[in-house]
Amino acid sequence: MKRFSKLHFGNIGKAFSLAFVGITLIWSVVSYYALGRVYVSWQILLGNLAVSATLSAIYYRARYHRVLEYDDQRFRLHTGSRTVEGTWRDFALVSLYHKGFGVFTVRLYRGDLGGKDFVEIPASDIGLDASVFRFEVIRLIKHRLRA
């Protein structure tokens, strides 16, 4: 089974920023009520950075990280803790969809192209050339339809 994955530094940055601001605010409130003032030192800052890095890594893996696994018969797309699975023979049509900002997805349709029943594989987000991947998916679907 082929496996593709790519780190998204924008999402990692969002997760880190959210964790760092949250931990800093929590420390500020705790130190204010415990000491009567907001206590800040280099050790506290480094501790906040370390805890933020750990929490953001966990949050990124649980929410944003994408992994695509596929072979000649099926595919599995993990996005954080969510998983979408399918077999190539379930789909009849393929299109390349531009979502904006350079993000391309390969859409797999169960019916016609105008239908609402489709699965998106974010090819550019997982580090694949979307156009090349689309043609590979077309080959896999045609191969499965003939079998």
Together in a domain, 15 and 57: yes
What is the total residue count of the chain? 147
Mean pLDDT, residues 76-96 taken together: 93
Together in a domain, 10 and 59: yes
Count up the domains in the chain and report the number. Answer: 2
Together in a domain, 56 and 75: no
Query: For residue 141, what are its two tokens?
Result: 């679907």
Position of tokens 């974010």? 122
55 and 110 Cβ atoms separated by less than 8 Å: no
Helix (H, G, I), strand (E, B) or coil at 109: strand
The chain-wide mean pLDDT, for the chain, equals 92
Task: Tell which of 14, 45, 63 closes a domain.
Answer: 63
Report d(CA 144, CA 86) in Å as an integer.
12
Report d(CA 6, CA 4) in Å as an integer.
7
Question: Which residue type sits at 110?
Answer: R
| Residue 21 domain boundaries | 2-63
pLDDT in tens, 95-113: 999 999 889 999 999 876 6
Together in a domain, 110 and 128: yes
pTM above 0.95, yes or no: no
Task: Tell which of 63, 85, 107 closes a domain.
Answer: 63
Task: Tell which of 32, 63, 94 closes a domain.
Answer: 63
Q: Is the pLDDT assigned to residue 145 strictly greater than 60? A: no
Together in a domain, 73 and 134: yes
Lowest mean pLDDT among 18-27, 89-98, 138-147: 138-147
Together in a domain, 93 and 75: yes
Buried b (16+ CB within 10 A) or exposed e, 73-106: ebbebebeeeeeebebeebeebeeeeeeeeebbb
Mean pLDDT, residues 12-32 taken together: 95
